[in-house]
Amino acid sequence: MASARIDLDGNPIKPLTICMIGAGGFIGSHLCEKLLAETPHTLLAVDVYNDKIKHLLEPSGSSSSSPWADRIQFHRLNIKNDSRLEGLIKMADLTVNLAAICTPADYNTRPLDTIYSNFIDALPVVKYCSENGKRLIHFSTCEVYGKTIGCFLPKDSPLRQDPDYFVLKEDASPCIFGPIEKQRWSYACAKQLIERLIYAEGSENGLEFTIVRPFNWIGPRMDFIPGIDGPSEGVPRVLACFSNNLLRHEPLKLVDGGESQRTFVYIKDAIEAVLLMIENPARANGHIFNVGNPNNEVTVRQLAEMMTQVYAKVSGETPLDSPTIDVSSKEFYGEGYDDSDKRIPDMTIINRQLGWNPKTSLWDLLESTLTYQHRTYAEAIKKSTSKPLAS
Ligand code: NAD
């Protein structure tokens, strides 16, 4: 990519070396693709897995190497215990930290792993960036907001309709978690503490940082389909859970009636926001950014209904007569589960600093994602469910 890139203030962007930790995950794979295809930046991609970026590391179907072969290096390492981490951070201009345990099914069933992964394991990353004067973009979560103020109002209170009681603002909203025995909040609490530590490193030691709070980014390559490219008993995030049910012609399981409200943003829109942060440090440093799509709000029940309709369209298959089934959170997630009622991101800060807005409607993003899911998994599911011949 030879042509010079220009930042939002008209200045040329110099090619960067980026240490991307968690590059082999859902968000990392899309960010790697974007950076390699559209920018001159070089990637030190760190993860314990690389299945989702294999196509970038070993392009298939051609004997010649890809145009970006010399701009991506994969380093298979676990940041928990690998002394190579500091060297990689030192080699880079910027570190993007995506590594985390971040599936709700783990928060209450593996709370220690969740806290270690989201807080303790991120500590050396922050420390090495701070000590070596390197910029850090750290991935937090919209879960740090916890519950809305509005959910504590009486059910019939008109204030529940007032955005002041539910829209989540980076610099104003409180973080409201449930009691300690509701271990679901272990993730949000660990993420909040690492945000506070990063913020303090910024104010006391001059760390240049940006914190990203994703609001349900979804799209192709999110998580896994149980029994196909992940454990049969595994419980991925909602998009993959529902996709798995649709692919297998099973009813979609709605936890506690599917009443929680969420906003969903297309991964490709969200990655545009991250690219703006990477290439506009003067506008992004010192900020916490909500990244979501406030226009794509639905209840989880509505999401299930829409996914059922979209899947019927892309697969040509007739939906079940009863496409959903209710399950209790205790049955589905186990003891210690709890939930946020509603999550609408305020977009003022990201609009002002980076001029970013999401574009893709929920229907369109589900159509492209479920087309991918169908194309990628339908055959494999058919094979796995057809009975083996008796020998
Ligand atoms: P993901 O699970 O697909 O990716 C995380 C990657 O980090 C995985 O590839 C994993 O192997 C790697 N990793 C974890 N621990 C590691 C370690 N010790 N050493 C090396 N690699 C390690 O998740 P994602 O959806 O891509 O999320 C990335 C980040 O964004 C996470 O911090 C998550 O909390 C945050 N986030 C994402 C969403 C979303 O909507 N996808 C929402 C809120 C927050």
Query: How many whole angstroms from 236 Cα to the centroid of ligand 1?
Result: 12
Quick one: which atom of ligand 1 is closest to the CA of 49? 11
Quick one: which atom of ligand 1 is closest to the CA of 24? 9
Q: Tokens 């099914």 appear where?
A: 105
Q: Which of 187, 311, 337, 377 is the catalytic position?
A: 187
The string of DSSP codes covering 257-326 is GG--EEE-EEHHHHHHHHHHHHH-HHHHTTEEEEE--TT-EEEHHHHHHHHHHHHHHHH-PPPPSS-EEE
Query: How many whole angstroms from 102 Cα to the centroid of ligand 1?
Result: 6
pLDDT attached to residue 388:
61
Partners of 136 in the β-ladder: 95, 209
Residues 136, 140, 144, 145: is their CA dihedral positive or negative? positive
pLDDT attached to residue 64:
61
pLDDT, averaged per 10 consecutive residues of the chain (391 residues), comes to 83 98 98 97 98 87 73 97 97 98 92 98 98 98 97 96 97 97 96 98 98 98 96 94 97 95 98 98 98 98 98 96 94 89 97 98 98 97 76 45
What number of other Cβ atoms are within 10 A of residue 152's Cβ?
12
> Where is 94: in which H helix or E strand?
strand 94-97
The ranges assigned to domains in the chain are: 100-377
Q: Which CATH number is 100-377 given?
A: 3.40.50.720
What number of other Cβ atoms are within 10 A of residue 332's Cβ?
16
Residues 100, 101, 103, 108: is their CA dihedral positive or negative? negative
Active site residue 187: yes
Quick one: which atom of ligand 1 is closest to the CA of 191? 34
Report how far residue 216's alpha carbon sits from residue 103's, in angstroms, rounded to the nearest whole number.
12
Q: Tell me the per-residue pLDDT of 2-49, one tens digit each, with 9 for 90 and over.
A: 568 999 999 999 999 999 999 999 999 999 999 999 999 999 999 999
Q: Which of 51, 97, 98 to mutate to test the pocket of ligand 1 (most atoms within 8 A of CB)?
A: 98
With CA atoms as reference, report the closest residue to 36 among 67, 60, 61, 7.
67
CB-based contacts of 19: which residues, under 8 Å, 6+ apart?
A: 44, 46, 88, 89, 91, 92, 94, 95, 96
Amino acid at position 75, single letter: H
